[in-house]
Amino acid sequence: MFQSLVSRVIILTILLLTLVIGIFSLFHIRREQDHLLSSTRESAELLLTTIERAIFNSMRVGNSEDVQAILEMVGKSHRLEGVRIFHPDGTVLKSSHPEEIGRQVEAETLVMFQNRRSVGIFPVNGSDILGMVRPIVADERCGRCHGKGPQLVGVLNANYSLADTNEKLQASTRFFLLSTLVILTVLAAGVSFILLRFVRRPLQQMADKMAQVEAGDLSVRLPQAGQDEVGSLMGSFNSMVGYLEAARSELEQCHFSQMARADRLASVGEMASGIAHEIKNPLAGISGAISVLADDFDPEDPRREIIRQVLEQIGRLDKTAADLLSFGRPSKPELSYVDVNNLVKNTLFFVSQHPEAAGIHRVNELTRDLPPVWVDEKQLQQVLFNIIINAIQAMKGSGTLTVQTEGPLVEGRRYVRIAVCDTGGGIPPADLEKIFIPFHTTKTQGTGLGLAICRQLLEQNGGTIAVENQPGLGATFLIDIPVRAGAPEAEKEDQRAQV
């Protein structure tokens, strides 16, 4: 039950209402109690003043017997428990109940007089009494009986019953409690109805529709109820599902398009591989035949230049056919442990013989004691050679080529990284995501298969290739190859890295 948000809100609301209305009711009950006690006290003081005047008038003329009669007459009131005059030592002198004359007054009454309090509430015979005392002081008019000068001749005491007051207070308390219970019941029922009708039901509908969406049905919609927060939430839900439906349709179309494109590329790849295989042999024959014919011409014969250009174009066709074969039917790697630093040095030696590398400044930053990697050495060298040649061509005859090696730890696994940096113009941002796509090229010559073949060969050897581009400043190609567990010196390198 408490797992439901609506149930928790209802219970907390009822508890809060109970607390607030309870405090409000207690305040009013206490206020009503004070009001009733104040009214009772005023009535008692008025009655006591009347009795005091009647007694004074009788005693002034010396009719002390009338005082007893007055007390007995007044004491017949059902609201009075008794009226008496007692000596300051507590002995009853006159009383509305003659049988208590000569006895001692209640201890509470005597203490109240001695403490100079005129009013007090205390229990007598199981019921609450409002006791009032007022000293009787003789003045010059009483000199005939009590002598000259003011003196205390007695204490007038009236005990006013609080039974009626308590009964009214109990009735008021019952009324407030019953009213509180009725108000709480009505408010709790109203809050519960509102939450269940306008919050829980729409939320349950949303939960059911969301389950259908999770199951793959994106055609569901919620009836938008009103313009409040819940209605707005339902509208947002419908919009979200609509966007999801449109996105799924778009993804499906894109998926079908990619599948069709992949199928076409696969067909083109198979066809290109077949064509390349069929072209290579005739090209080799043509190249040989033209070379033999070239030997028949004199060294100064201008036709030898034509022959040279023909052989150069045949070489380009042969390379294109070789690239198509490499991409369409990559050979299986022959794996062995390879020292990357030595591989980089050997590759740079071959690159230095390339005619386009003449004006390029080469910088080597090789980390010592790199662990060997488990790869096909020829394929890795082919990848490195291809990337370096691309970097040299990007610098167009002048610039700095930097080749770095390092052994970083990535997510707890050791890699050997080769970074090839150039200071060319960088890669246009529009072409950055397409450079590894087959047949995509920005050069006037080439098939666009170089980087695609590089990525393919690296994936065969468990490695990856990425590019960091700075337009106008150059590009950096990063080759990461994982170090095989148990490789020579690999454990030693890990220990050094931890130290």
| Residue 323's CATH number | 1.10.287
Contact 154, 68 (CB under 8 A): no
The helix (run of H) or strand (run of E) holding residue 261 is: helix 229-295
> Can you say how many angstroms the Cα of residue 376 is from the centroid of all Cα atoms in its chain?
50
Burial of residue 357 (CB within 10 Å: 0-12, 13-18, 19+) is buried
**Are residues 360 and 482 part of one domain?**
yes
Could you list the beta-strand ranges (E) of 4-66: none
Asked if residue 204 is part of any domain, the answer here is no
Are the CB atoms for 118 and 133 separated by under 8 Å? yes
416 lies in a domain?
Answer: yes
CATH code at position 17: 3.30.450.20
Give the Cβ contact number of residue 499 at 10 Å: 5
Domain-ending residue, one of 302, 329, 356: 329
- Number of CB atoms found within 10 A of residue 362's CB: 14
Residue 477 in domain: yes
Contact 203, 233 (CB under 8 A): no
In a domain, residue 186? The reply is no
- Look up the domain containing 262 and give its range: 223-329
Helix/strand/coil for 189: helix
**Local confidence pLDDT in tens for the 499 residues of the chain:** 556 667 777 788 888 888 888 888 888 888 888 888 888 888 888 888 888 787 777 766 666 677 778 888 877 777 788 888 888 898 988 888 888 888 998 888 888 888 888 888 888 777 788 888 888 876 655 545 555 556 777 888 888 888 888 888 888 888 888 888 888 888 888 888 887 777 777 777 778 888 888 888 878 888 766 666 677 777 788 888 888 888 888 888 887 777 776 666 556 566 666 666 566 667 677 777 777 777 777 777 777 777 777 777 777 666 666 655 555 555 677 889 999 999 999 888 888 877 888 888 889 899 988 999 999 898 898 889 889 988 888 888 888 999 999 988 888 889 999 999 999 888 888 777 777 776 656 665 555 667 887 888 888 888 999 998 888 888 999 999 999 876 565 444 544 544 4
Contacts of 377 (CB under 8 A, 6+ apart): 336, 338, 343
Same-domain pairing of 345 and 433: yes
Same domain? For 244 and 357 the reply is no
- Considering the domain architecture, whether residues 269 and 123 belong to the same structural domain is answered as no
Q: Name every residue whose Cβ is closer than 8 Å to that of residue 336 and which is 6 or more positions away in sequence.
A: 374, 375, 376, 377
Tell me, yes or no, whether 312 and 363 share the same domain: no
Residue ending a domain, choose from 329, 355, 390: 329
How many other CB atoms are found less than 10 A from the CB of residue 158? 25
Q: Are residues 125 and 157 in the same domain?
A: yes
Question: What's the CATH number where 451 sits?
Answer: 3.30.565.10
Is 278 within a domain? yes
In a domain, 174, yes or no: no
Q: Which of these, 85, 74, 81, lies nearest to 127 by C-alpha position?
A: 81
Same domain, 284 and 347: no
Same domain, 343 and 239: no
Structure tokens at 371: 């662990």
Determine, yes or no, domain membership for 430: yes
335: left (phi over 0), alpha (psi -120 to 50) or beta: beta
**Whether residues 79 and 227 fall in one domain:** no
Domain identity same for 55 and 155: yes
Domain boundary among 311, 329, 347: 329
Query: What CA–CA distance (Å, rounded) separates 337 from 486?
Result: 11
Q: Is residue 317 part of a domain?
A: yes
Q: Which two tokens stand for residue 342?
A: 């030595």
